[in-house]
Amino acid sequence: MNPTAEKIIEAAKARLQSHGYAAFSTRSLAEKAGVPLSQIHYHFGGKQGVLLALLEYENRALVARQRHMYGTEMPLWKRYEQACDFLDDDLRSGYVRVLQEMIAAGWSDETVAAQVLALLESWFEVLAGVAGEAEQRFGSLGPLRAEDVAGLIGMAFLGGEAVILLGGESWNTRAREWLRSLGPLIRQFEEA
């Protein structure tokens, strides 16, 4: 990535973390990055382009983190609990907010939808690999295929993230508890 583009991406991340999506503008981003507004439009085409580039940039790093964590030798249930712990990091970093905003933007923009779905595919590939490992280890996942388990876990996280972002302490707490409730189930399955 070009140094100016990288500077803009880093400033976008900082701006998003400090002010949120609603207050995110290319003008404020240019000021934060210390570049002319024209550079944002030149490198990214506008606000949506910057946010998609930020999402892709962050997504690459986070998927690599997940691949590394799931590639360890610790029990599957502990790896799942670690994934739940990573949710807090991903919320703090602003990644989850950008992802959910881009999902919403994709509802009315096919180009954005295609880019977001391509990024999500990398998460589901990681989950499918782990579910495949579980299927090999256990011999069966009951009536579910490995890809079904991966899809259900991935969709649970996406939905949980959306609810957590809405606020509301009760929903926030319940969403986190529901996600974590799979850990003991995985442990029971693994230790059986």
Same domain, 14 and 108: no
Q: Which whole number is the average pLDDT over 54-74?
A: 91
pLDDT at 156: 96
Same domain, 89 and 155: yes
Residue 144 phi/psi, 5-degree rounding, is: -100, 150
**Are residues 40 and 50 in contact, defined by beta-carbon separation less than 8 angstroms?**
yes
Spatial distance between the Cα atoms of 46 and 51, rounded to a whole number of angstroms: 9
The alpha carbon of residue 141 and the mean position of all alpha carbons in its chain are separated, in whole angstroms, by 25
Same domain, 36 and 114: no
Same domain, 39 and 112: no
**Can you give the CATH number for the domain in which 25 is found?**
1.10.10.60
Same domain, 23 and 57: no
Q: Give exposure, 151-161, as e/b (b: 16+ Cβ within 10 Å).
A: bebbeebbebb
* Residue 120 vs residues 59, 68, 123, 182: alpha-carbon distances, Å: 9, 17, 5, 21
pLDDT at 15: 86
Which residues on neighbouring strands pair with residue 143, listed in sequence order? 141
Spatial distance between the Cα atoms of 97 and 125, rounded to a whole number of angstroms: 22
For residue range 118-167, list pLDDT tens digits in order: 999 999 999 999 999 999 988 888 899 999 999 999 999 999 999 999 99
Same domain, 76 and 132: yes
- How many separate domains does the chain show? 2
Helices (H), ranges, 20-75: 26-33, 37-44, 47-70
Cβ contacts of 66 within 8 Å, gap of 6 or more: 83, 86, 123, 126
Domain extent for 24: 1-45
* Residue 2 vs residues 9, 28, 40, 56: alpha-carbon distances, Å: 11, 21, 12, 15
For residue range 9-58, list pLDDT tens digits in order: 999 988 877 777 778 899 999 999 999 999 999 999 998 899 889 889 98
**Are residues 56 and 12 in contact, defined by beta-carbon separation less than 8 angstroms?**
no
Q: How confident is the model at residue 60 (pLDDT cuts 50, 70, 90)?
A: very high
pLDDT at 118: 95
Give the pair of three-digit tokens for residue 92.
């703090």
Same domain, 34 and 55: no
Same domain, 135 and 155: yes
Q: What is the pTM of this model?
A: 0.86
Judge whether residue 5 has pLDDT over 80: yes
| Helix and strand numbers, DSSP H then E, in the chain | 10, 0
Give the pair of three-digit tokens for residue 172.
């926030």
pLDDT at 163: 95
For residue range 75-134, list pLDDT tens digits in order: 999 999 999 999 999 998 888 988 998 898 889 889 989 999 999 999 999 999 999 999
